[in-house]
Amino acid sequence: MYLTPRDMARFGLLYLNKGNYGGRQVVPSSWVEETTKPLSSVSLASAVIERFQYASHWWTGQTRGHGQHPLFMAHGHGGQNIVVVPALNAVVVTTTNPDLSFEDSWTQSVRTFDFIVLDILSAVLD
């Protein structure tokens, strides 16, 4: 799938607004709620996101520090992310180099998570 960062942000806004986009209910709010609930105990390790668990094509968790805000995110290879932080009314989109090996992809993903939580979200809170 190919999405521009603007398309990714629109998708994040759709989920931030519980399925409503531009004043129109595009996806039932119950679907948004259901698909952003953790499904398993499978977890990713992150220094800045805790309880980082898989949901239905989303990952859920909460930030470490900075008020520990719940979030959910679509996470792709190497740091392609749509991060939704409802308590902050925020959507953060990141894109990176998609042509990375698996090992380099995870390293880049970790750097991207750090950037989102430590730089972008902390700036929103300041």
> Which domain covers residue 33, as residue numbers?
5-125
Q: What whole-number distance in Å separates Cα of residue 84 and Cα of residue 79? A: 15
Q: SS3 for 116?
A: helix
Has residue 126 got a pLDDT over 80? no
Question: Residues 20-60: pLDDT tens digits?
Answer: 999 999 999 999 999 999 997 766 667 777 778 889 889 89
d(CA 72, CA 70): 7
Residue with tokens 């609930």: 37
- CA 29/CA 18 separation, integer angstroms: 5
- Residue type, position 90, single letter: A
pTM, entire model: 0.88
How crowded is residue 41: how many other Cβ atoms within 10 Å of its Cβ? 7
Q: What is the CATH number of the domain that holds 95?
A: 3.40.710.10
Region 59-63 average pLDDT: 88
The CA distance from 107 to 101, in Å, is 10
Q: Strand 24-25 relative to strand 49-54: parallel, antiparallel, unpaired?
A: unpaired
- 124: three-class secondary structure by DSSP: helix
pLDDT tens column, 104-113: 888 888 888 8
Report the number of distinct structural domains present in the chain: 1
